[in-house]
Amino acid sequence: MAKKVARKKSRLFDDIRESLREADDYFSGKPTKVIVHRVIPKQTEARQARLTLGLSQDEFAALIGTGVGTVRKWELGTRRPSGAARTLINVIKNEPKAVRRALAKTNEVA
Instruction: Provide the CATH number for the domain formed by 45-109 in this structure.
Output: 1.10.260.40
What backbone torsions phi and psi does residue 26 show, to the nearest 5 degrees? -60, -50
| Domain boundaries of the chain, sorted by first residue | 1-38, 45-109
pLDDT at 42: 66
Residue with more model confidence, 107 or 63 = 63
Contact 81, 72 (CB under 8 A): no
pLDDT at 37: 81
Give the number of other Cβ atoms within 10 Å of residue 27's Cβ: 10
Residue with more model confidence, 106 or 78 = 78
Taking 60 as the threshold, does the pLDDT of residue 102 lie above it? yes
The model's pTM: 0.57
pLDDT at 56: 94
Taking 70 as the threshold, does the pLDDT of residue 5 lie above it? no
Taking 60 as the threshold, does the pLDDT of residue 92 lie above it? yes
Element (H, E) at 29: none
pLDDT at 67: 95
